[in-house]
Amino acid sequence: MKKILKRVGVISLFGLMMIGLAACGNQQSADNKNSGYNSFISKGLNAVAENKFDKALTYFDNALTQKPKDSKAKAYRDQTQAYLDTQSELKDGEVQKAVTTVTTGTKVTNDAKSLNTKLSNLKEKLVVGNSLNNNIQM
């Protein structure tokens, strides 16, 4: 009888240890996910500060792979994409389309102040430049 109780005790102890280890592993996995997400957001914002928008877009996309429904990462990504699209449209001579794109980018909520500032400055240059161009053509 003592042997049976001893075995049950050892098996129970082993089971509790396994449950504890599994719980720690899940917590560690969640911590790693948050750490990766935070790192991608930080690197993305640093890339924005350096005007490396292609690189920033990649970092924000990576953050979204960590947290697909995160509104902040989505806002940062959308604003970065708006900036890149605006630049591309300007290169193609599509000024009106660029004004529309940059305006949409400035209306994104949960935005990063640095991105919003860069988009607002770009919008201001576009609107002023577009006004001057229209006045010259008249």
Helix runs in 1-138, H state only: 2-49, 53-66, 71-91, 95-106, 113-137
pLDDT (tens digit, 0 to 9) for every residue of the chain, 138 residues total?
666 766 655 576 565 566 655 655 545 455 656 889 999 999 999 999 999 999 999 999 999 999 999 999 999 999 999 999 999 999 999 989 999 999 999 898 877 888 888 888 888 888 776 654 554 444
pLDDT at 94: 92
In terms of pTM, does the model score above 0.85?
A: no
pLDDT at 1: 66
CA–CA gap between residue 131 and residue 40 (Å, rounded): 39
Cα–Cα distances (Å) from 62 to 5, 48, 96, in that order, read: 52, 15, 31
CA–CA gap between residue 55 and residue 114 (Å, rounded): 15
8: left (phi over 0), alpha (psi -120 to 50) or beta: alpha
